[in-house]
Amino acid sequence: MKAYQIYFQKILNKLQLVQGQSSKIETAAHWISQSMANGGFIFTSGTGHSHMFAEEIFYRAGGFARVVPILDDGLMLHKDASYSTELERMEGYAAQLLKDYKITEQDIFMISSNSGRNTVSIEMAMIAKEHGAKVIVITNLNHTQSVDSRHPSGKKLYEIADLYFDNGGEIGDASVEIDGLEFKVGATSTVIGVTILQSIMVQATENLVQSGIQPEVFSSSNSDEGEEHNESLINKYKGVIKGL
Query: Do the beta carbons of residue 2 and residue 9 sit within 8 Å?
Result: no
Q: What is the pLDDT of residue 84?
A: 74
pTM above 0.75, yes or no: yes
What fold does the segment set 3-237 form as a domain? Rossmann fold (3.40.50)
Q: What is the pLDDT of residue 103?
A: 97
Beta bridge partners of 163: 136
230 contacts: CB under 8 Å, gap ≥ 6: 218, 219, 221
Query: What is the residue-level pLDDT of the chain in tens, covering all 244 positions?
Result: 999 999 999 999 999 999 999 999 999 999 999 999 999 999 999 887 888 888 999 999 999 999 999 987 667 767 767 767 777 777 888 899 899 899 999 999 999 998 989 888 999 999 999 999 999 999 999 999 999 999 999 999 999 999 999 999 888 899 999 999 999 999 999 999 999 999 999 999 999 999 999 999 999 877 777 788 999 999 999 989 988 8
Cα distance between residue 7 and residue 2, in whole Å = 9
Largest interatomic CA distance in the chain: 58
Q: What is the pLDDT of residue 226?
A: 78
Query: Do the beta carbons of residue 241 and residue 67 sit within 8 Å?
Result: yes
Q: What is the pLDDT of residue 77?
A: 66
64 contacts: CB under 8 Å, gap ≥ 6: 32, 36, 42, 57, 201, 204, 205, 215, 216, 217, 218
State residue 185 phi and psi, 5-degree precision. Answer: -130, 170
H helices present in 20-80, as ranges: 22-37, 51-56
Q: What is the pLDDT of residue 93?
A: 83
Beta bridge partners of 67: 42
State residue 67 phi and psi, 5-degree precision. Answer: -115, 130
Query: Do the beta carbons of residue 173 and residue 142 sit within 8 Å?
Result: no
State residue 166 phi and psi, 5-degree precision. Answer: -100, 125
- Domain boundary assignment for the chain: 3-237
Q: What is the pLDDT of residue 227?
A: 83
